[in-house]
Chains A and B, each alone.
Chain A
Amino acid sequence: MVTTRNSAKLSKWERLPVELQQQVLGSLDNLDRLQIRQVSKEILSVSENIPIVTHSIHFLTTPKNKYFWLNWTDTEGQRSITNRKECKKEKNGSLAVKSLLNFFACRFSKVTQLQFDNIFEIQNGIDTLEQIIAEARGRNIRIRAEEVCLNLLNAVSAPLVIQFFELFDADVLKTLKLVDPPGNVVDAISETEQFRSCSKLSISSAHYDSTPSQHYSLRNMLHFVDFRIRRDQYTAQDLFDLVQSYRLKPLKKGDRLQIYHTTKSSTEEEISNLLDVFPTEPNLRPPSYRINNIRVIFMADPELQLLVQTTNNGVLMRVAERRPLSASLLELY
């Protein structure tokens, strides 16, 4: 095996039929496909229908929030390109907006992870967001990202967040990672098709010590098969609804739900009484281990079981493969 002489030229390229030019350019990797669009208007025209599927796009800002720019990373995460230099020259944010939307202008282009930094935290971030919404609507562009990570700290306008969420292609979006979202904003976006179609949710905090705890309505999250959420309060009824929803879902081993850093607005007894309604089977661990209050609840799928653990500051539910207890363990019960 040898590597071809990549210094050789392709003169008379223009003689190649457009369909064959597209096939050649389609042999390039995703970042090269981004690159070739800058070569000439002719090449741009030829390549605009060649889809780009890249691993991540990061929409980020400078430390002093002077301007926004983008960083694209390939599937292996080993190569990335950026337009920071060009965005720095332009400064009003429109180049970053156009670059982002141009990527999705080809309806076959898709990104695995799309991350927005503190776009809601600063005024020019809000302005940039409004530009994205207006331009995407004007050009009828949908953002095709499988996972979006969005810092919602200081996002006070729920309608603006909803409008932004509605730009995403609900058929593609599967995972939401929200950082410091206000409770009212999460409640608002939970009504969107995009939120309802997601299967995974993570709500975390980048400013754990300085931001107030939020309350999220768990009843809006029963459709998720996998989520981690930081929440200030839950009731026994919330927990009952979650367990009931979870045990009936078509889940698989390893799916999990985690609520952490919580406080309970119900007593242990109230929680225990409600959870006792569910049919349980003996814990795989010996009874002496039950200080963690792990319940092993039957699921609709007879091959699976739901492990529900409640602690002072959290709830963990995990789907596990159902395994019969050994005779020696059964004797302990």
Chain B
Amino acid sequence: MSCEEPTTSPTPENNITVVSSDGKEFLLDLKLTEQSETLARLISNFEYDRTDVKKDPVPLGNITSAQMQKIIEWLQHHRYYPKWEQNDIHYSTSFTFETWVEEYLNIPNNEMFELLNAANYLNIPRLFSTICRIMASRITGKSAEQIRTVLNIKTDVKNDVYTGIPIQEDSSSSEDGMSEISLSPSPPPI
């Protein structure tokens, strides 16, 4: 899916200012903020969509300027996309992505994790779901051993005390943890 992106420049009437955790200000078109449920609710509560209301800068203490830059890039690309539907089968079950998305998320893991956090904080469901699916696509169809490689889990094999199924014991797990896990559901081995 792709949409044509007419160029528009924010004017004082149709934008708000957000401030990242490192103090950088971003002028954000109100149209873009519709994709963020957090910002949309804030704008609605403070009536920032009215031209006669003074708009104070919105501090986003959990988001760095680099992350904000990245998020604005996402919002602009999806500016004219149809409204997000939570159960849209196109998004919820597919591990196929637009080339633009592939390139957009071709970033180091720690940046992707931070972006997921930011998407969660700003409640941008399309971005959040896309990152989740990009990450899940690296796991799907793999054996348990292959998934351990993907997640870089280096552990010793022990038998689960409850199921008897060989299971990887994380080096960080305590004996208490084992006992708790032993009462939890365990899958059949493949």
Give which listed residue, B120, B135, B138, B187, contacts A38 with CB less than 8 A. B187
| B92 partner residues in chain A, CB cutoff 8 A | 27
| Residue among A5, A27, A94 with the highest chain B CB neighbour number at 10 A | A27
Which of the 9-residue segments B36-44, B61-69, B147-155 touches chain A?
B147-155
Least distance between B188 CB and chain A CB atoms (Å)? 3
CA A28 – CA B133 in complex, angstroms? 8
Chain B contact residue count (CB 8 A cutoff): 60
In the complex, are the beta carbons of B181 and A44 less than 8 A apart?
yes
In the complex, are the beta carbons of A81 and B190 less than 8 A apart?
yes
| A7 partner residues in chain B, CB cutoff 8 A | 138
* Contacts A2-B97, A9-B149, A41-B177; A94 near B164 (Cβ below 8 A): yes
B14 within 8 A of A: no
| A44 partner residues in chain B, CB cutoff 8 A | 167, 181, 184-186
| B164 partner residues in chain A, CB cutoff 8 A | 90, 94-95, 98
A315 within 8 A of B: no
In the complex, are the beta carbons of B120 and A20 less than 8 A apart?
yes
| A102 partner residues in chain B, CB cutoff 8 A | 163, 185-188
CA A5 – CA B135 in complex, angstroms? 10
* Contacts A1-B98, A9-B150, A24-B135; A95 near B181 (Cβ below 8 A): no
Please, which residue of chain B has its CB at the minimum distance from the CB of A85?
A: B189
In the complex, are the beta carbons of A10 and B153 less than 8 A apart?
no
B 147-190 contacts with A by CB, 8 A: 147-153, 155, 160, 162-165, 167-170, 172-173, 177-178, 180-181, 183-190
A 72-114 contacts with B by CB, 8 A: 72, 81-83, 85-86, 90, 94-95, 98-99, 102-106, 109
| B113 partner residues in chain A, CB cutoff 8 A | 12, 15-16, 20
In the complex, are the beta carbons of B170 and A42 less than 8 A apart?
yes
A136-152 contact mask (Cβ, 8 Å, vs B): 1 or 0: 00010000000000000
Which of the 9-residue segments A29-37, A124-132, A187-195, A238-246 touches chain B?
A29-37
In the complex, are the beta carbons of A10 and B188 less than 8 A apart?
no
B117 within 8 A of A: yes
| A11 partner residues in chain B, CB cutoff 8 A | 109, 151-152
Chain A contact residue count (CB 8 A cutoff): 58
In the complex, are the beta carbons of B168 and A40 less than 8 A apart?
yes
* Contacts A34-B188, A48-B184; A10 near B167 (Cβ below 8 A): no
Please, which residue of chain A has its CB at the minimum distance from the CB of B184?
A: A48
Give which listed residue, B135, B181, B187, contacts A41 with CB less than 8 A. B181
| B116 partner residues in chain A, CB cutoff 8 A | 16, 20, 24
In the complex, are the beta carbons of B163 and A98 less than 8 A apart?
yes
Please, which residue of chain B has its CB at the minimum distance from the CB of A139?
A: B183
Least distance between A26 CB and chain B CB atoms (Å)? 8
A294 within 8 A of B: no
Least distance between B1 CB and chain A CB atoms (Å)? 9
A292 within 8 A of B: no
In the complex, are the beta carbons of B169 and A95 less than 8 A apart?
no
Selected A-B contacts with CB under 8 Å, 25 pairs: A1-B99, A4-B97, A4-B138, A5-B138, A6-B138, A9-B151, A9-B152, A10-B151, A12-B109, A14-B172, A15-B113, A20-B113, A23-B132, A24-B116, A28-B136, A34-B188, A36-B139, A41-B167, A48-B184, A72-B188, A81-B188, A82-B188, A95-B163, A95-B188, A102-B186
**A-B pairs with lowest CB-CB distance, top 4:** A105-B185, A83-B188, A37-B187, A27-B136
